[in-house]
Chain A
């Protein structure tokens, strides 16, 4: 082997090394972008299709918008017994009640678990953790009986009152995790200044745990907005339908010719979740990262 060939092969290796280092990130980006497109394509296509004349849904797999056709929205909005505004307002009422309930009750329980020392603390804490994983189905039948005997069917009470009683133990845990990170010296300082337990909770802990409260509010918003099973069971009067229940009755009531307006109302129902995601994703990602629950 001559020196010449050795030199050229070394040079060749060096150039391939350099180009691989340059090509690799590009390849990763191409792969990630392709994966992202596959993930989002159905969503984008649904939005675009909702802006097309009804039957084009079955012919046009592309996502280019030619002209905006808002008839689907006009028709879909009034396709059911009540205008869609009604369902949006019903959902908003349930969501608002659920958020307030979770914020108040879960923060109180979390403060006790994170900061106070009491008999049976470990026992209750373990029960709280286990209850996060309890399937709703084992309690739904008696709950239904209980709430129907209370005359609460077709009211929002069965959807809101449990939240006021901190049954979403997931958020208790999330807040406990957060409060543990707040320095105890602050409690101590407030105590020296004459604060009682309630004062420390209201004046020290609550203001400092706003990120955890925001995470709770956003998750509660999205989960309650999407929740279907309990709303399906407790709301049977079309006047009381929330968005998911209304949407489902839309699917059952319309023949397949009306996909355009069904898509339009589906898009309407996803917009609030999407906005919550855009505004709150910092809190959402932090929330699942610290508690490890979706």
Chain B
């Protein structure tokens, strides 16, 4: 079961008020292992408090301060947040990020689903194709691929050379503010392999007898897809959607390297995370960067919550 499913089932069990009374020792009288359990959890708990929760609280505090790493943080109340309201570059970075997330994630998932369905029908050499499609998602976040993208969509890049072969005149896709973000969308879509593998695993779970029964009743390929595959796959689609959205909101490397660290041309690839990096680690405006980070967390939280809420209306749980 997936991490999200697991969270969901924790919640469902709580609603039903049933505590599974399972002990770590089969058939024995229930005995807690508190001491040994917390010993085994020590590294994780240390990490949770020192590396995660502590810094989270610290950044919450810093978001109400003016802090440049050298002088002590100065409490300025809500000033960082009011500044965000009037910061044009920040608004632009939000637009860029939202466009990126809401164009690239649906495209990526649609292609992943399409290929998963095709591969699931027992195509010969399925393992080979699966590997080929999966490989880019392992490489996609690397600096090397960003370097490659910079060349491929440059003025004299591979893409324009190929266009030239069919007689089309290209342009500098990365140097043109109207298309630069598009090249990053293409790059994200290119990494559809990992959601595809998750879809494939989900398709395996659908009992073949459903399809057999539908065939006997005369359902065609499309009908079987829309009446069986799609409804039964909705939990996995939902899961992929939540994860890919969370992931896309945090994209950094590709925009950073492709734009040479500037988010350019004219801020057209200035992701929210790039702007955050620029404020925090470019200008050492750590208070503002912390406020931005919390804002990002809230955005991601709101979208995840909205997703969970909306899922009641379209996700079908077969249990």
Q: Which residues of A contact B (CB under 8 A)?
A: 25, 28-29, 31-32, 35-36, 39-40, 42-43, 45-46, 57-61, 104-106, 108-109, 111-112, 115-119, 121-122, 124-146, 148, 162, 164-167, 169-170, 172-173, 177, 184-185, 187-188, 191, 196-198, 201, 222, 225-226, 228-229, 233, 243-244, 247-248, 251-252, 256, 259, 262-263, 266-267, 269-270, 273-274, 277, 281, 284-285, 288-294
Contact = CB atoms under 8 A, between A and B. Distances in A.
Interface of B: 1-7, 10, 22-27, 30-34, 36-38, 40-48, 50-52, 54-56, 58-59, 62, 69, 115, 118-119, 123-125, 129-139, 141-145, 147-148, 150-152, 154, 156-158, 161-162, 164-165, 190, 194-195, 197-198, 200-201, 236, 239-240, 243, 246-247, 249-250, 252-253, 256-257, 260-261, 273, 276-277, 280-281, 286, 289-290, 292-294, 296-297, 300, 304
10 contacts: A32-B129, A39-B133, A108-B41, A164-B47, A165-B43, A188-B26, A197-B40, A262-B147, A293-B3, A294-B195
Contacts of B145: 266, 270
A42 B133 CA distance: 13
B127 to A, nearest CB: 9
Given A43-B136, A116-B24, A117-B30, 20 more contacts: A29-B124, A32-B115, A40-B132, A46-B148, A61-B165, A108-B43, A109-B40, A116-B40, A137-B293, A141-B290, A142-B54, A185-B26, A197-B33, A244-B143, A251-B143, A252-B261, A273-B138, A284-B134, A289-B197, A293-B243
Contacts, number: 302
Nearest to B45: A124
Contacts of B143: 226, 228, 243-244, 247-248, 251, 266, 269
Given A165-B47, A226-B142, A285-B130, A119 B165 contact: no
B33 A263 contact: no
Given A42-B152, A42-B158, A252-B261, A267 B144 contact: yes
Contacts of A177: 1
